[in-house]
Amino acid sequence: MTKKEKHKIIAVVGPTASGKSRLAVELAKKHNGEIISADSRQIYKEFDIATAKPSEDEKAGIVHHLIDIIEPTQEFTVADFTDRAQQLIEDIVSRNKLPIIAGGTGLYLRTLLQDFDIPRVEPNKELRKELETIAESEGVEAVYDMLVELDPVLAQKIHKNNLVKIVRAIEVSKTLNMPMSQAQGRKEPMYDVEWIGLNAENREYLYNRINLRVDEMIEKGLEQEAKNLFEKYGELTLLLSTIGYQEFHEYFKGLISKEEVIEQIKQNTRHYAKRQLTWFRQNKDIKWMEIEG
């Protein structure tokens, strides 16, 4: 019985502004590698300044995949990411190069490289809208009660206030005609991954880097970028759920000042970095590198 050998790959992870792009490029140069970005926002075209996409200079001739490939109006989810990344890994390995995954987005990384085995059920816009309407008129509990009927096991694990997760669980359970808790599972990791994590032991230091980077984004014209996107696409959910754009939305409506926008972007980015770290800390295979000093 011969077991197929798993592909070796490197994963460089860390919170926003930790410098993982640079490290990934260094490693790619050293090991003849190509980079696959695991970032739910850099995937989009035109989302440049806000997502701190690497410039051509910063890419330093290294091939970067899954950056700048989706239109802002297109949907892109974990499943799309996983499928594309898996293909890319096969392709890169077949050319005798080393795949290096660099990111950011905890759910993407865990699904591609760790143990999440996601149910294959596409989003159902109408159902979501319907359930959200019920939540608005009758309260979230009404929707939660529906989930308790469909999948009491999962309902126990999802907090009754977490509408997004409740809705998805109902969506999956209804589509498959079986409880989502039975459709989802854990799997063996598909690859032989060397995990490298970037972090600052001193949280203040990380937060300072974030604050500085936001100031740089403003200097580079983040306001104009946000303006263009809102004018071109309107109030897309995607824009309203992306740090760096969502805050400008209120500013363009005259609700808050420029100073407040900048402060909010910094604040939201700090919160985001903290949430990212919660994802990564759960992964005991990560070898951590200190970024300060």
Partner RNA sequence: GCCUCGUUAGCUCAGUUGGUAGAGCAAGGGAUUGAAAAUCCCUGUGUCCUUGGUUCGAUUCCGAGACGAGGCA
- In the range 22-41, which residues lie near RNA by CB under 7 A? 39-41
- Can you give the C-alpha Rg of the chain in angstroms? 20
Give the nearest distance from C-beta 231 to RNA in angstroms. Answer: 20
Per-residue burial over 231-247, b if 16 or more Cβ lie within 10 Å, else e, is eeeeeeebbeebbbbbb
Give the nearest distance from C-beta 256 to RNA in angstroms. Answer: 14
Which of 225, 207, 198, 204 is CA-nearest to residue 269?
207
Distance CA 223, CA 235 (A): 16
Pick the closer one to RNA by CB: 96 or 237.
237
Instruction: Single out the residue of 26, 46, 132, 145 in contact with RNA (rule: CB under 7 A).
Output: 132
Give the nearest distance from C-beta 150 to RNA in angstroms. Answer: 14
- Extract the tokens encoding 48: 């440049």
Number of H helices, E strands in the chain: 14, 8
Instruction: Single out the residue of 241, 255, 285, 292 in contact with RNA (rule: CB under 7 A).
Output: 241
**How many residues in the shown chain lie near RNA by CB under 7 A?**
66
Pick the closer one to RNA by CB: 8 or 45.
45
Distance CA 28, CA 58 (A): 13
Distance CA 42, CA 8 (A): 25
Give the nearest distance from C-beta 177 to RNA in angstroms. Answer: 16
Pick the closer one to RNA by CB: 85 or 98.
85
Q: Which residues bind RNA (CB under 7 A)?
A: 16, 39-42, 47, 50-52, 76-80, 104-108, 111, 116-123, 128, 132, 157-159, 161-165, 167-168, 172, 180, 184-186, 203, 207, 237-238, 241-244, 267-268, 270-272, 274-279, 281-282
